[in-house]
Amino acid sequence: MKRLSMFAGTVGTLAVAASATAGLNGLSYDVIGDQLVDPGAPYHYTVRLYADVDSGDRLDAVYGNSDIGFSITMNGGASTYQNTSFGGPTSTSINDALFTAFPSLEWDSYVTIGALYSNGNALQQIGIDWSGFEGGGDASADNGTWFVTPADAQGEEVGGRVLIGQFTIFKGDGAYDMTFSAGFQGSNAAGETWNAAGSVDIAVPAPGAVALLGLAGLAGRRRRRG
């Protein structure tokens, strides 16, 4: 199992293509690791996706409507890992008490607001057909949402971010493996409600590409020293 925490910041910064609308500063993601489900399986990596907001803001809903569509789109043959036996499309299905018996459940792909697991999780959802997503593919909605109420602490920002999903992605052969787009509703520290649209393209180079990037950097340093 390889941890990619040092690489995650670079990947997240390069890949973000989010609208910087009032109330939403963008979308970002951290790479948690790779080959976490099965070291012997085709190359896959796990990311956690965040809505970036101002200090004191909160996020109450992620949605798709007639003006701003919600979509998760897999590109270039990529797919997501889904634990169809014990997991589900939202964090309310992720029971961390089962991780010891079923370790791969921890790396299931799902959406959320603020909470990783089911314990104390107030998340609700309506109007989204998750069947394609649960098969490792796409999801979309123009009249659906997952949300918490303004009284639920899990919608509050932590370090300027609110968690909105975890995705374990089997890498494809496109420039990006997954595109996430949605509308977002929250409020600022003064209690004023905001709505915004955001999207992000997610990709992590395959291991060989990472090694080549490292060699290129080493060669560059050697040339500068010469």
The reported pLDDT for the residue numbered 9 is 33
Residues 6+ apart with CB under 8 A from 186: 23, 24, 51, 53, 57, 58, 59, 60, 61, 155, 162, 193, 194
Integer Cα distance of 165 and 31 in angstroms:
12
Distance of CA 116 to the CA centre of its chain: 11
| Predicted local confidence at residue 8, as pLDDT | 33
Domain count, the chain: 1
* Mean pLDDT per 10-residue section of the chain, whose length is 226 residues: 33 36 88 97 98 97 97 98 97 98 98 98 98 98 97 98 98 97 96 96 79 44 43
- Environment class of 22 (CB within 10 Å of its CB; exposed 0-12, middle 13-18, buried 19+): exposed
Angstrom distance (rounded) from CA 105 to CA 189: 36
pTM of the model: 0.84
Domain containing residue 178: 5-225
